[in-house]
Amino acid sequence: MAGFTFSEKQEKEIDRIVAKYPFKKSAMLPLLTLVQRDERVVSPEAMVAISERLDCSPAYVQSVMSFYTMYHTEKVGKYMILFCINISCQLNGCDKLLEYTAQKLDIKVGGTTADDKFTLHREECLADCTNAPMMRINDTFYGELTEQRIDQILDSLS
């Protein structure tokens, strides 16, 4: 199994993150987030590298990571689309819009486009129910969705 090596930029960021906490293990989520953001996946090799930086076991890293839905063991697309499926969004037609988005991208929910550009997932409440139906793409939230708005948003992403 080939190892995972943090980039020079990641090393600097890790030093800065770890220095903020009294215990190294407290930096677990920021390090997982950094790797997920940069690599679009947290591989077993990256879990080992994180465990070595935080003086804990790879199993501990995996146990933390598996609790959260935003970390992935398989590579996701450049743009991760999370479609809220909770009650306010349900009442405002999210099911139809999710289906529309899947058809537009020619993938099933949970899948990634052939060009690795988009991954489409369901998500629990995005905490912006007043603007339902909602989706999140990477770190940006989009509300009051319609088919036309989804077209505009997806077409604007390069």
The reply to whether 126 sits near ligand FES by the rule CB under 6 A is yes
Distance CA 129, CA 140 (A): 15
Rounded CA separation 120/44 (Å): 23
For position 135 contacting ligand FES by CB under 6 A, the verdict is: no
Out of 14, 34, 35, 134, point to the residue binding ligand FES (CB under 6 A).
134
Q: Phi, psi (5° rounding) for residue 49? A: -60, -40
Tell me which of 56, 109, 125, 137 binds ligand FES, using CB under 6 A: 125
* Cβ proximity of 54 and 24 under 8 Å: yes
Smaller CB separation from ligand FES, 28 or 134: 134
Q: DSSP letters of 6-20?
A: --HHHHHHHHHHHHT
Find the binder of ligand FES among 88, 93, 104, 137 (CB under 6 A). Answer: 88
Interacting residue ranges for ligand FES, rule: CB under 6 A: 84, 86-89, 125-126, 128-129, 132, 134
